[in-house]
Amino acid sequence: MSTVFHKIVSGEIPCYKIYEDDDFLAFLDINPKCDGHTLLIPKTPAKWVWDVEKYTEYFEVARKIVRHYQKVTGNDLVVMKVVGVDVPYAHIHILPYDENYGRGRSTLTPEKAHQIMKKFSMIN
């Protein structure tokens, strides 16, 4: 089954990339719960995070992103969630805590995405 994440990895659907290497891709959630709400996925499909072939490396990348977010926000609180019900493809939510956290979802506009990417992106 092809999911939206399969299409993002293949380049069929564009995304606002925050981090990318040979095995993993992190990008802004289009319905964020806070500024910087990021999804981290493996490029090799897996339905569940515990099925990710490079499981240890996957969580090392998550930690790298969290540490970066702590540095750019000046806030140690970065929430990480593994829920797995929205899309049947392994993904980790990384949410830098801010005053808007938990106040519902919004839609990410291109203008807002570019502002957030300037602050959070790990891609040079």
Q: Tell me the percentage of the chain whose pLDDT exceeds 90.
A: 79
Query: What totals of helices (H) and strands (E) does the chain contain, helices first?
Result: 3, 5
pLDDT-based confidence at residue 86 (cuts at 50, 70, 90)? confident
Task: Specify the CATH superfamily of domain 4-120.
Answer: HIT-like (3.30.428.10)
Sorted by sequence, the CB contacts under 8 Å of residue 71 that are 6+ apart come out as none
Catalytic hit among 68, 91, 93, 114: 91
Whether pTM exceeds 0.85 = yes
91 is catalytic: yes
For the chain, which residues make up each domain, given as ranges?
Answer: 4-120
Span 1-59, pLDDT tens digits? 689 999 999 999 999 999 999 999 999 999 898 889 999 999 999 999 999 999 999 99
Task: Evaluate whether 90 touches 3 at the Cβ level (below 8 Å).
Answer: no
